[in-house]
Amino acid sequence: MADPTKEESTAAQETAAAQDPTAQQNAQVLALLHSLFGEATFTDVHEPYGLLTVTTKREHIHRIVAGLQQDETLKFHFLTTMCGINYPENLNQELGMIYHLHSLVHNIRVRIKIFFPLADPVVPTLTDLYAAANWMEREAYDFYGIIFTGHPNLRRILNVEDMDYHPMRRQYPVEDGTREDKTDLFFGR
């Protein structure tokens, strides 16, 4: 902290943050999250393009989303989207789920991520909180094989029902293996 330029720039950032309404809102949401669930629950807090993004553990996800939904001041009543993701290089954190919540009353958004191992792709369902979670969880199950415990009807939604794998997992090729007209040595596969 002896470096005066650094102190200055931090101060400048703080002033800028104080003037920026998005940063103020994000600080408010983050303060709420910390007060409700504790600071240790959240890691990797950042704000790309002004969207507050936090990472947490899957044990906490249901009560965090429930807490945000039931919060009287912020009222995160809308589950914008939720989707799966697969990073095969992150050992024991290969699969993830990303939740976007939106407060329609105050126009505040928040993004929550959880990561968990490929061998144990089990996540609690949000269908008891948001009806919209039903089809989105079916989609995540369809493409990533994430099992949502408590989901009322967890079956494939977009792909053919007799498909025997989860195609968006990175261990499978995106291409159809039976394609015949692309065997060209130089221009095809």
Least distance (Å) from another protein to the CB of residue 123? Answer: 24
57 near another protein, rule: CB under 8 A: no
Least distance (Å) from another protein to the CB of residue 175? Answer: 5
The string of DSSP codes covering the chain is ---HHHHHHHHHHHHHHHH-HHHHHHHHHHHHHHHHH-GGG-EEEE-GGG-EEEEE-HHHHHHHHHHHHH-TTT---EEEEEEEEE-TTSTT--EEEEEEEEETTTTEEEEEEEEE-TT--EEE--TTT-TTHHHHHHHHHHHH--EEET-TT-S-SSS-TT--S-TTSTTS-SS-TT--TT--TTT--
3 near another protein, rule: CB under 8 A: no
How many residues bind another protein, per CB under 8 A? 14
Residues within window 144-183 making contact with another protein, judged by CB under 8 A: 158-160, 167, 172-176, 178-182
Q: Which is nearer to another protein, 60 or 156 (CB)?
A: 156
Binding site for another protein (CB under 8 A): 158-160, 167, 172-176, 178-182
